[in-house]
Amino acid sequence: MLGAEGGLVDEALRRGGPDADVIVVDPEAASLERLERTVLDPRVWFMIGDGEVLPLPDASVDVVLGAEDTPEVERVLR
């Protein structure tokens, strides 16, 4: 998911189910740090990046929440 928003994390965890991992990507380290203090679920990972440069391999993501359809988003989707 793109954007360090608690509501999006909750939605991603709910949609993904108990075996899903959620990767939160945001360009602001401070935003990620704030969210990391409140989200204690070990299935949630935090990374710096944005919709134009996602630090993820090609075809490695099932769903992207909170993002517009960009070539970079398309690249990481399975």
The pLDDT value given to residue 31: 94
Look at the block and give the residue holding tokens 């969210």: 35
DSSP 35: H
Residues 17, 11, 63: CA angle, nearest 5 degrees: 70
Q: What is the DSSP code string of 12-78?
A: HHHHH-TT--EEEEES-HHHHHHHHHH---TTEEEEE-BTTB--S-TT-BS---S----HHHHHHB-
Number of domains in the chain: 1
Assigned domain for 24 exists: yes
Assigned domain for 20 exists: yes
Predicted TM-score (pTM) of the model is: 0.87
Assigned domain for 15 exists: yes
Q: Provide the residue-wise pLDDT of the chain in tens; the chain has 78 residues.
A: 678 888 899 999 999 999 999 999 999 999 999 999 999 999 999 999 988 889 999 999 999 998 888 999 999 999
The pLDDT value given to residue 72: 93
The pLDDT value given to residue 61: 93
The pLDDT value given to residue 5: 85
State which residues form the domain around 65.
6-76
Assigned domain for 1 exists: no
